[in-house]
Amino acid sequence: MKPQPFLIVETGQPFPTLRRYGRFPHWIRVAAGLEEAETVVVNVEHGEALPERGDFAATIVTGSAAFVTDRADWSERSADWLRDAAHGGMPLLGICYGHQLLAHALGGQVDYNPAGRESGTIVLELEAPAAADPLFAGLPASFPAHATHLQTVLRAPDGATVLARSAQDNCHAFRWGEQTWGLQFHPEFATHHMRGYVRARADCIARHGGCARSVARDVSAAPLARQLLRRFVRHVRRGSSTH
């Protein structure tokens, strides 16, 4: 029997200078090892309606330049759908905006990070519970990841387990229940995506006391962070094969 596809909820577009590499769903598919035929993309930012959950193995929510705190209609509708999906036990993975949207949907707090903008290749520090987590188990205690964000999850949802942090962000990853994950960092980013974002956000980085040239120079590969997308796909496929 043909496996169910993954739903990718598209919440925004890459910075214009990076669109030659495709849209976020393409970046995610490549990093996750999914064929185009194994995914369905719904562009909620452009008003497309979210489908029935039962037709999909799992849902991945992309990043966006939007802000969860703006409470846009499309974002709040997506939050309602994701809340129902999480409570229904559907495997969910939110990236950056998707991470924040999941936290908001489940009762957490999202706002501007008091530590300012986080950009570039950062060091992800795993919390103790990550050792027993289906996605993070077996990974080193710290490893590089790519990040670019102003807002963050200030308080994870009640009942959530925080899995990772960085020097600037205390909630870089969380799991809620058995099947819902949020990742503030970008596992789908390759080094050219990250350098492109640093260049595009140079003015904002400077306003927050950083130097975009130095940040871009320090961008390095983040293969372990990238691995998390394939780990999520494997976790979902294993779960569906036992049902």
pLDDT (0 to 100) of residue 239: 84
Low-confidence ranges of the chain (pLDDT < 50): 243
Q: 3-class DSSP state for residue 32?
A: helix
Residue 110's pLDDT is: 98
- The secondary structure of the chain in percent helix, strand, coil, rounded to multiples of 5, reads 40, 25, 35
Residue-wise pLDDT for 200-243, tens only, equals: 999 999 999 999 999 999 999 999 999 999 999 999 999 866 54
What was the pLDDT predicted at 242?
53
Amino acid at 66: A
Closest CA to 60 of 101, 106, 115: 101
Helical H segments across the chain, by residue range: 24-32, 73-87, 97-105, 191-200, 202-207, 212-217, 223-241
H or E element that contains 62: none
All domains in the chain, ordered by first residue: 6-241 (3.40.50.880)
Query: Which residues are the active-site residues?
Result: 96, 186, 188
Query: Taking the C-alpha atoms of 120, 121, 125 and 130 in order, what is their torsion angle to the nearest 10 degrees?
Result: 100
Q: Looking at residue 241, what is its pLDDT? A: 61
Rounded-to-integer distance, Cα 125 and Cα 160, Å: 17
Reported pTM: 0.96
